[in-house]
Structure 1
Amino acid sequence: MKIPKFADLILFENDDVIVVNKPPFISSLDEREGGEINILRMAKNYWPDAQICHRLDKETSGSLIIAKTPEAYRSVSMQFERRKVKKVYHAVIDGTHVFDELLIDLPILNVGKSSVTISRQEGKRAETWFQSLKYFKHYTLVECRPVTGRMHQIRIHLATQRASIAGDEMYKGQPVFLSKLKRKYHLGKDQEELPIMKRFALHAFEVTFALLNGEIITIQAPYPKDFETLIKLLDKFDS
Structure 2
Amino acid sequence: MKYPNFKDLILFESDDYIVVNKPPFVASLDERSAAGEVNILRLARQYTDDAQVCHRLDKETSGAIVIAKNPEAYRHLSMQFERRKVKKIYHAVVDGQYQFDNLFVDLPILNDGNKNVTIDRAEGKRAETYFTSLKYYKHYTLVECKPVTGRMHQIRIHLATQRAAICGDSMYKGKPVFLSAIKKGYRLSKDEEEQPIMKRFALHAKEITFKGLDDQDIHIEAPYPKDFTTLIKLLDKFDA
TM-score category by the smaller chain?
over 0.9
Q: Please, which runs of 5 or more residues in structure 1 have no aligned partner?
A: none
Q: How big is each residue's C-alpha offset from its partner over 1:91-130, in whole Å with a ceiling of 9 and x where there is no partner?
A: 0001000000100010000122101000111100100000
Q: Percent identity?
A: 73
Q: By how many angstroms is 1:2 displaced?
A: 1.6
Q: Which residue of 2 aligns with 1:169?
A: 170
Give the match for residue 216 of structure 1. 217
What's the Cα RMSD here?
Answer: 0.7
Counterpart residue identity of residue 184, structure 1: G
Give the structure 1 partner of residue 78 of structure 2.
Answer: 77
Measured in 1, the distance between the counterparts of 2:150 and 2:61 equals: 14
- Structure 1 residue 217 displacement after superposition: 1.5
Name stretches of at least 5 consecutive residues in structure 2 with no aligned partner. Answer: none
1:59 match: 60
For residue 226 of structure 1, report the CA deviation from its aligned partner: 0.1
Per the alignment, in what secondary structure is the counterpart of residue 138 of structure 2?
A: coil
Query: What displacement does 1:182 show?
Result: 0.6
Which stretch of structure 1 is more off in the superposition, 23-32 or 181-190? 181-190
Task: State the Cα distance separating 1:189 from its structure 2 match.
Answer: 2.0
What do residues 184-216 of structure 1 show as CA deviations (whole Å, max 9, x unaligned)? 111112111000000000000000000011101
- After alignment, is 184-193 or 58-67 more displaced? 184-193
- Residue 20 of structure 1 corresponds to 20
**Alignment deviations for residues 33-81 of structure 1 (CA, whole Å, 9 cap, x no partner):** 6210100000000001100000000000000000001000000010000
2:65 is paired with a residue whose SS is strand
Match of 1:235 in 2: 236
Spell out the pairing of 1:173-184 with structure 2 (5 A cutoff): 173-184=174-185
- The residue aligned with 2:97 is 96
Q: TM-score scaled to structure 2, two decimals?
A: 0.99
What amino acid is aligned across from residue 59 of structure 1 in structure 2? E
Structure 1: 4+ residue segments shifted above 6 A: none
Distance 2:76 2:127 in 1: 23
Aligned length: 239
